[in-house]
Amino acid sequence: MNRFLIVALRAGIVAAFTLGLFGQFVVIPTTAVNEVDRFPPYAPFAAPYVTVAIIGVACVQVALVAVWMLLAMVQRGAIFTPRAFRWVDTIIGSSTLATLLALGVTGHLALAEIPTPDEDNMAVISTLAATLASVGVGAVFVMLVVVMRGLLRKATDLETEIAEVV
């Protein structure tokens, strides 16, 4: 694989990981405090939703670390080994957890009585739509990575078979 491409991908991973940390420690808590200040009935929902959002970002960061490790394996020419499956399984697991968190938030928004400053509940409806879209995108991503894992399994088996023949 092209060395420049690997360096560029690693730079993107570092940037995304750093932005995630900034979001976890600054953006998410600050936004929650501002929303509670603006509309005090949101106070009981702030801590659980902040916790879920921080865990969701952590899931993305875990997947980024796994991609970093897979890039290192590609660079060494060791991607078709059983160790690669651990990192792919880590991506699947963290993506599944993030999708389940989004599903939980979607269910809560759909079933709970959440106060809203709007009389027409459009804020809750649009948030419900966004979380439902996140569930859909997360489920599709997990399925895609599962299919890619199957392809990696086939390629690994073929490489092992060719190595035995040679």
Residue 99 token pair: 């999708």
**What is the value of pTM for the model shown?**
0.90
d(CA 121, CA 69): 44
- How far is Cα of residue 128 from the mean position of the Cα atoms in its chain? 19
What's the start-to-end Cα distance of the chain, in Å? 24
What pLDDT is stored for residue 21 in this prediction?
Answer: 98
d(CA 62, CA 52): 15
Q: Are 83 and 73 in contact (CB under 8 A)?
A: yes
- Local mean pLDDT, 10-residue blocks, the chain (166 residues): 90 98 98 93 93 98 98 92 95 98 95 81 85 97 98 92 85
Residue 44 token pair: 């009981």
Which stretches of the chain are assigned E, i.e. beta strand?
none
What pLDDT is stored for residue 119 in this prediction?
Answer: 72
Q: Are 35 and 42 in contact (CB under 8 A)?
A: yes
What pLDDT is stored for residue 83 in this prediction?
Answer: 92
The H or E element that residue 35 is part of is helix 28-38
What pLDDT is stored for residue 1 in this prediction?
Answer: 65
SS3 84: helix
Residue 40 token pair: 């005090």
Q: Are 32 and 50 in contact (CB under 8 A)?
A: yes
Count Cβ atoms within 10 A of the Cβ of residue 78 and give its class: 0-12 exposed, 13-18 middle, 19 or more buried. Answer: exposed
